[in-house]
Structure 1
Amino acid sequence: MRRALILLALLSLTAAGCATLAPDATDAPIRYRCQAGKGFTAAYALHGKRVVVTAGGITRTLKLARSGSGARYTAGQAEIWGKGPAATLKGFPGGPYLDCSSQ
């Protein structure tokens, strides 16, 4: 009986370790604070291929784009470009959001 309980516990841990996020899941939103008291949030989705940005009272989904350095996401005129904790955001009401840092 004890062996069966141990085996069951090990199988539960193994199954939990194999769990993956749904393909459209987003990470918890990251808050950015920018110069002039501005701010926005960004939640990365689809393993970094998209980001959902909320700024200036609107929310948009931006797709991963080519970048020489850092990570860049675009959708029309909207663009977020980040490297490490730093980012800039353009194309949203109240922008541009410059010299931003994740909190």
Structure 2
Amino acid sequence: MDPLAVYKALANPARLQFLEWLKNPAEHFDESAYREQGLGFHIGVCVGDIQARSGLSQSVVSSYLQSMKDAGLLESERIGKWTYYRRNEGTIRALAAHIADEL
């Protein structure tokens, strides 16, 4: 984990909000479309659903999600033409330990 990259990714309010939404996706997104496809939130949340909830353009949302993935905060899975994002809990725990130990 690169703490500076993580802090930079979290410095944007929208990216921070995405991370909060992905903590408990069932509270923020409709899982019924996922269930119809035999999926669930364990694979993540589709970029389109994050975009719709945020009101930001698809290109901005994709860019934000990619920067969070590059920082290690998110993992992604591509199924067909859709990409699903979920939190990388290992990095989040490492960040918490870093803050507790170093700051």
Q: TM-score, length-normalised on structure 1?
A: 0.27
Bigger share in strand = 1
Q: TM-score, length-normalised on structure 2?
A: 0.27
Higher RCO (CA < 8 A, seq sep 6+): 2
